[in-house]
């Protein structure tokens, strides 16, 4: 049962195309499994439509329409696209998964998004009973729990949940599921790991 969802303003930014590529991947992964949030994004897309109606009517160069007509000329013969909708794909499909690497009691891998190579996206795999590195945030950390569960001082999070933590959050999550906990995490800013091990780990994670 999903209890934790992205905040409304995060979904609004998603709908507006204003989330960075990393957070967008995490939120998109959440949407893949959460119909409730998909409906909320749909609502914010309506807001986008209303904003487009209200947008200032800009002067466009006079030949823009003629040029556009030329571009669609060759498209007339194109076969009608199939109306059938393909099953929605997870945004994680098609992203290369490098092997897990071990570090200080947990496993991690950094994902490289082909369309946004600079995005900070990692996957963490932590064994039952293990603590995740103690950390604070500079910017916002978006985490989607893919498997297992963990808790921190603020609550308990299970597979399907999406958690946002900002600079006010200083936590050390602890895995409390029977299975390994696997999380997908992306950062708007930099994550600051605390403690000796955390500081050692930081450069390895490339954060």
Partner 1 sequence: MGLGLVRRSPRGDSVRAVEGTGVTSDELKGLMAAVAQNRDRAAYGRLFQYFAPRIVGFMERNGVSGTDAEEIAQDTMVTVWRKAELYDPAQAAVSTWIFTIARNLRVDMARRATRQRNGAAAMGEPEIELVESAETQTLAVERENKVREALTKLSREQATVLRLSFFSEKPHAEIARELGIPLGTVKSRVRLAMAKIRPLLESER
User: Which is closer to partner 1, CB of 3 or CB of 200?
Assistant: 3
Give the range of 70-78, 142-150, 173-181, 190-198 binding partner 1 by CB under 8 A: 70-78
> Edge to edge, what strands does the sheet with 174-175 contain?
155-158, 149-152, 174-175
Give the range of 46-54, 128-136, 150-158, 196-204 binding partner 1 by CB under 8 A: 46-54
By CB under 8 A, name the one of 4, 5, 6, 13 that touches partner 1: 13
Question: CA angle 144-116-182, nearest 5°?
Answer: 25
Residue 146 C-beta: closest distance to partner 1, Å: 16
Tokens representing residue 10 in the block: 């995060």
Tokens representing residue 32 in the block: 């893949």
Give the range of 85-93, 152-160, 174-182, 195-203 binding partner 1 by CB under 8 A: 85-93
Residue 158 C-beta: closest distance to partner 1, Å: 23
Burial 30-59 (b: 16+ CB within 10 A, else e): bbbebeebeebbeebeeeeeeeeeeeeeee
Query: How long is the chain?
Result: 207
Element (H, E) at 73: helix 64-73
Residues 6+ apart with CB under 8 A from 135: 170, 171, 172, 191, 192, 193, 194, 198
Residue 87 C-beta: closest distance to partner 1, Å: 9
Whether residue 140 contacts residue 166, with contact meaning beta carbons closer than 8 Å, is answered with yes
User: Which is closer to partner 1, CB of 114 or CB of 206?
Assistant: 114
Residue 168 C-beta: closest distance to partner 1, Å: 10
Q: Convert residues 116-155 into a mask of x (bound to partner 1 by CB under 8 A) and - (unbound).
A: xxx--------------------xx---------------
Residues that bind partner 1 (CB under 8 A): 8-9, 12-13, 15-18, 21, 28, 31-32, 35, 38-61, 64-65, 67-69, 71-72, 75-76, 78, 80-81, 83, 85-86, 88-89, 91, 93-94, 113-118, 139-140, 188
């Amino acid at each position: 049962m999903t209890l934790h969802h992205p905040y409304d303003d995060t979904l609004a930014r998603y709908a507006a195309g204003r989330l960075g590529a990393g957070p967008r991947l995490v939120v998109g992964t959440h949407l893949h499994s959460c119909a409730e949030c998909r409906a909320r994004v749909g609502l914010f897309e309506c807001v986008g439509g209303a904003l487009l109606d209200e947008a200032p009517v800009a002067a466009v160069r006079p030949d823009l329409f003629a040029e556009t007509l030329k571009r669609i000329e060759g498209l007339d013969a194109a076969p009608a696209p199939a109306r059938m909708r393909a099953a929605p794909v997870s945004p994680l499909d098609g992203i290369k998964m490098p092997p897990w690497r071990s570090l200080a009691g947990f496993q991690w891998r950094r994902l490289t998004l082909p369309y946004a190579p600079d995005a900070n996206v990692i996957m963490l795999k932590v064994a039952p009973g293990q603590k995740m590195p103690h950390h604070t945030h500079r910017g916002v950390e978006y985490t989607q729990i893919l498997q297992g569960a963990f808790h921190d001082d603020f609550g308990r999070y299970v597979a399907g949940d999406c958690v946002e933590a900002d600079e006010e959050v200083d936590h050390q999550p602890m895995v409390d599921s029977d299975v390994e906990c696997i999380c997908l995490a992306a950062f708007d800013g930099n994550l600051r790991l605390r403690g000796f091990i955390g500081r050692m780990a930081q450069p390895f994670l490339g954060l």
